[in-house]
Amino acid sequence: MHSTPRTDDPPVLECRDLAVRFAGDSGEVCAVNGVNLTVRAGECFGVVGESGSGKSQAFMAVMGLLAENGRASGSVKLNGREILNAPRKTLNAIRGVEMSFIFQDPMSSLTPFLRIGDQMCETLIEHSKISRDEARNRVLEVLEMVRIPAAKRRFGQFPHELSGGMRQRVMIAQALLCKPALLIADEPTTALDVTVQAEILDIFAGLKKHTNTAIVMVTHDLGVIASICDSVAVMYAGRIVERGAAEGVFYDPQHPYTRGLLRSIPSITDDPNADAQVIGGQPPNLLNLPKGCHFRPRCENAMAICAQELPPLLERKPQHFGACHLEVTP
């Protein structure tokens, strides 16, 4: 049975001052800046923010999968070992084994001409010294874990024979094969329709309950975070602007941007006729960030100091951090 992650458990993932810069024709883009976060065993850590806020690139850096023109700096420790910018050989031995990932498009990580069961067995045999029979049993076990009906039959099918939802389940199963300590899921439900989204989230909830895997859930959808995450980091213009327990961030948000995001969720409990509000203004241009607080041009609470100084991420409530010049409200 899953227990709530304890703050004295050693971290599975620890990022310190993580930054990602891309070289481009019109100059250098700093897509991720000063990111600090810790994810523990059994914890589901949500990373949320509008499109372009640096969520994916932060974790591409963690996985060592940045594009050619990208450079990462800072520190990323997986189970205490530094892995940022580690040699390709080291990363190849870690990825899919100690650290797995799931992307938005399940087709991108499946080989189209290999049967589902065969590609999963190959992955397993490649990474662990086990027989084909043992591999087959483990594959069936994980296919059942992600609630794939008639798993034995699916074993012999090709990816194109499966629906989008089934493919995403296969991806999750594939990611779990080697019992990774860390699972990074980047918008795993975004490409799916609403009912399938709910089923996939339910599978993640099951993982939380029955395994001790640390999960990072990257999404632009606060609804996804609310349903399964223990902790949340809110990103804006490449920086974490708020971080804390999910409950605190939802019920006592410390940053005007988080409040804006929360208002943009269509509400089911309040007035059903009320329209969700979209945060006004444009997402920031990373090539030309405003001086001071990057959110200032869109902020309803902006003060004079906000145009001058970038607010640091400070503890505003116990274990609840916000980067805003506004006074803490009691």
Ligand X SMILES: Nc1ncnc2c1ncn2[C@@H]1O[C@H](COP(=O)(O)OP(=O)(O)O)[C@@H](O)[C@H]1O
Instruction: Tell me which residues touch Mg ion (CB under 5 A).
Output: 56
- Which of Mg ion, ligand X, none does residue 52 bind (CB under 5 to 8 Å by kind)? ligand X
- Which of ligand X, Mg ion, none does residue 257 bind (CB under 5 to 8 Å by kind)? none
Q: Which stretch binds ligand X (CB under 6 A): 23-31, 119-127, 149-157, 291-299?
A: 23-31
Does position 21 interact with ligand X (CB under 6 A)? The reply is: no
Dihedral angle at the C-alpha atoms of 64, 70, 74, 77, nearest 10 degrees? Answer: -10
Nearer to ligand X, 52 or 165 (CB): 52
Q: Which string of x and - marks every residue 32-71 that binds ligand X (by CB under 6 A)?
A: -----------------x-xxxxxxx---------x-xx-
Identity (one letter) of the amino acid at 44?
C
How does 276-286 read in b/e, with b if 16+ C-beta sit within 10 Å?
eeebeeeebeb
Does position 159 interact with ligand X (CB under 6 A)? The reply is: no
Nearer to ligand X, 56 or 254 (CB): 56
Does position 223 interact with ligand X (CB under 6 A)? The reply is: no
- Which of ligand X, Mg ion, none does residue 30 bind (CB under 5 to 8 Å by kind)? none
Nearer to Mg ion, 56 or 119 (CB): 56
Does position 25 interact with ligand X (CB under 6 A)? The reply is: no
Task: Look up residue 195 and give its two tokens.
Answer: 């009912």
- Identify whether the C-beta of residue 240 lies closer than 8 Å to the C-beta of residue 294: no
Instruction: Show contacts with ligand X in window 252-311 (CB under 6 A).
Output: 286
Does position 101 interact with ligand X (CB under 6 A)? The reply is: no
The residue number whose beta carbon is nearest to Mg ion equals 56
Distance (Å, rounded) from C-alpha 161 to C-alpha 31?
38
Instruction: Show contacts with ligand X in window 70-99 (CB under 6 A).
Output: 70
Nearer to ligand X, 59 or 321 (CB): 59
Nearer to ligand X, 40 or 55 (CB): 55
Contact set with ligand X (CB under 6 A)? 22, 24, 29, 31, 49, 51-57, 67, 69-70, 286
